[in-house]
Structure 1
Amino acid sequence: MNIDEIHAARDRLAGHARRTPLLSSPFLDELAGRRVLVKAECLQHTGSFKFRGAWSAISALDPDVRARGVLAYSSGNHAQGVARAAQIHGCPAVIVMPADAPALKIANTRGFGAEVVLYDRARESREEIGGALASERGLTLIPPYDHPMVIAGQASCGIEIAEDLPDTTADVLVCCGGGGLTSGMALAFEHHAPGLRVRPTEPDGFDDMARSLQAGEIRRNSSTTGSICDAILTPAPGDLTFPILNRLAGPGLTVSDDQAMHAMALAFKRLKLVAEPGGAVALAAALFRADEIVGDTVVCVISGGNVDPALFAEALGKFGDA
């Protein structure tokens, strides 16, 4: 990975990805005890930052290769990003998704014209299924995070924050699964805003990135089920993403499922944003792990807003008065 690849991806994304805003609320500032700035990637095309990496990777393919089609595996947000980017490019897309992924994400992926192949994530390997399909059909695999062009595309989110916050020193909390967004943003900050430091944020019990950073080597999760934060439940950090974060990231943070739901309710009430659980963990950490953050400003990314209506209603019902 180098800054030239990141700038090239940003240029390919120009006119296709949305430049999402940085939002604030005095109510959230008071709760956190500092200024809280929220990067609203839930407003990105397909409802998450994943469109950036998907467009970057697909647009970088040779046209003849792209015409044969692409394949991805994802619990939903990468699936939708790849499906939509492929649809715009006019190429076939096959998406391998867990059968227990939110129904909205499965429906949206099909709605973007992709063929969806469901699997049991507790018993089957998405990598094995995806590899077999790619080989059989001549499809190009677009992994969800451990891919140079995906990372380069996600870095565009960091460039936008750097441009909006020149000469700022702050922690930037990022919802983290395999680390594509977090590592891309870290590389962008290294070159464009050295005062900004990424900190991966994960659900309690699924903190493979935090544990890996602490150990200085990759640690795995014992399970990829058991949290409502489905968007960021991954087996382990990526082979490409971990070295970047081991060099550039601050310590990881974790939050409970209840805190993620509480943050969902607060994002809706105070910012008028719809966040999914996995997309809300960074905001949750900013609000409920304030003693683990230094400085008078914290930036956090709401990375996705593709939440099933029933779960969103549950969050509002449980924490709507908070």
Structure 2
Amino acid sequence: MLTNPVAQPLPISAADVEAAAAAIGENIVKTPCLKSTTLSQITGAEVWLKFENLQFTAAYKERGALNKLLSLTADERARGVIAASAGNHAQGLAYNARRLGIPATIVMPRFTPIIKVQQTESHGATIVLHGEKFEEATEHAHALAAKRGLVFVHPFDDPLVMAGQGTVGLEMLDAVPDLDCLVVPIGGGGLISGIATIAKARNPDIEIIGVQAQLYPSMHAFIAGSPAPCDGDTLAEGIAVKTPGQLTRQVVQALVDDIVLVAERDLEHAVSLLLTIEKTVVEGAGAAGLAALLAHPSRFRGKRVGLVLCGGNIDTRLLANVLLRELARGGRLARLRIRLKDRPGQLFEIARIFDQQQANILEVYHQRIFTSLPAKGLITDIECETRDREHLDRLIEAIRAAGYEVRPVELD
């Protein structure tokens, strides 16, 4: 258990989570919680997956947003709500506000990808683009709320939002009551606060493990009492939060047992595995729980573990890059840099070796000018497809055996 130096009433209780479940009722998808036999074999744990990427807006954020909206008075509903978000909170709030007939305004940083702006607009929200950073968008949203009398709906640091998110854990424990451990992504902390509250009330011995990207260890740093930089391009943009909530910190400190960090490679591998094995699309944050099992196998081996696939909103081009990079790391795709002599038939001889080894050539790049080789030197990069790492190794050995210099161009 993480230390809670000052005993104090926590912002939410199990009763609040149960009340949220009753309030939101059938208005959200009670997503399946299913055992993954293959991922269990890979990780050594008994893995149960909660498919929150199957919500209408493809993320759990609908739960907290709806619980907050349902609490508003008639006057507050008439005035409308406002939030600052460039992601799932924006869509979850906009979608449910339209369903309830509540005007919604979403402030997004100017750099927000156009697809996210369009998706949020499609749910009927008014979009305001302001600021270069999320903090600037948030400040502007508060200013507009005060000026126009709108209700500000925080993405995580609000008791009603936290309780709504906790209904994810309630459903998981209803489906699998004897889970040993719940592994939950942490951004601002709303999801893990709600889940930890209901889970610990149901079973004080259950482990609650938070997961953060190594590039954004904000809650981990707060708990450890040692500031850490939070910056960089992470695949898990949904949990790339520099400052966790004031309320959520209290719950995490009191109820969460541990927080682990995962590298970008682990996140990429987890996204790929979930698509190829479970045939489900998740964003980087949604794959963080599985990434934790892959990065820290001994921590979870032999336990019955529940993972929250918290969202599935990932850019298709980014998803394609992740999958291709995983193929390259597994030896299924490769770029081989081969030094040739400047004479007829060299490329034919190389192609013949690929044919003999049953390796598929995808692309061929010649380089004569921008190289440190002598003027008659020639570099050829060949992108190819092989069955696996062993097949690729045999191909490289065959090229070397034919007298050519060759090396794979490795990913970082």
Q: Measured at CA, do residues 312 and 52 of structure 1 come closer, stay the same or move farther in structure 2, by a change above 3 Å?
A: same
- The counterpart of 2:207, out of the listed 197, 212, 224, is 197
Q: CA deviation at 1:225?
A: 4.6
Distance across 2 between alignment mates of 1:110 and 1:207:
31
Matched, 1:74 2:85: yes
Instruction: Report the equivalent of 2:143.
Output: 132
How far did 1:294 drift?
5.4
Match of 1:85, SS state, is helix
User: 5 Å matches for 1:162-177?
Assistant: 162-166=173-177, 168-177=178-187
How far is 1:155 from its partner?
0.8
- By relative contact order (CA 8 Å, sep 6+), the higher-ranking structure is 1
| Identity percentage of aligned residues | 34
1:320 CA drift (Å) = 5.0
CA positional deviation for 1:36: 1.2
CA contact (8 A) 1:102 1:308 kept: no
The answer to which of 188-197 and 10-19 deviates more is 188-197
Query: How many residue pairs end up in the alignment?
Result: 318
For 1:65, give the aligned amino acid: E
Note if contact 2:50-2:307 (Cα within 8 Å) is conserved in structure 1: yes
Are positions 1:257 and 2:264 aligned together? yes
Query: Corresponding residue for 2:153?
Result: 142
Equivalent of 2:124, from 113, 118, 131?
113
Match for residue 289 of structure 1 among 292, 296, 306: 296
Is 1:303 matched up with 2:315? no
* C-alpha deviation, 1:241, in angstroms: 0.6
RMSD: 1.9
Tell me by how many angstroms 1:44 deviates: 1.4
Larger-gyration structure (1/2): 2
1:26 corresponds in structure 2 to: 37
Unaligned runs of at least 5 residues, structure 2: 1-11, 331-412
Distance 1:123 1:315, change over 3 A: closer
TM-score (norm 1): 0.93
Question: Residue 283 of structure 2 aligns with which residue?
Answer: 276
- The SS at the match of 1:47 is coil
- TM-score when normalising by structure 2: 0.73
Cα-to-partner distance string for 1:148-207 (whole Å, 9 max, x where unaligned): 1000100111111111122x2422111110100000000011222334322111111211
Q: What letter is aligned with 2:299?
A: E
- Judged with a 3 Å threshold, the aligned counterparts in structure 2 of structure 1 residues 105 and 24 are, in CA distance, closer, same or farther, namely farther
- How far, CA to CA, are the matches of 2:193 and 2:55 in structure 1? 19
In structure 2, how many angstroms separate the alpha carbons of the residues matched to 1:97 and 1:69? 17
Could you tell me how far apart the structure 2 residues matched to 1:270 and 1:235 are? 32
CA drift of 1:109 comes to 0.7
Is the alpha carbon distance of 1:189 and 1:297 closer, same or farther for their aligned partners in structure 2, counting shifts above 3 Å? same
Unaligned runs of 5+ in 1: none
Give the match for residue 171 of structure 2. 160
1:209 alignment partner, one of 197, 210, 219 = 219
Shift of 1:103: 3.8
Which residue is 2:363 aligned to? none
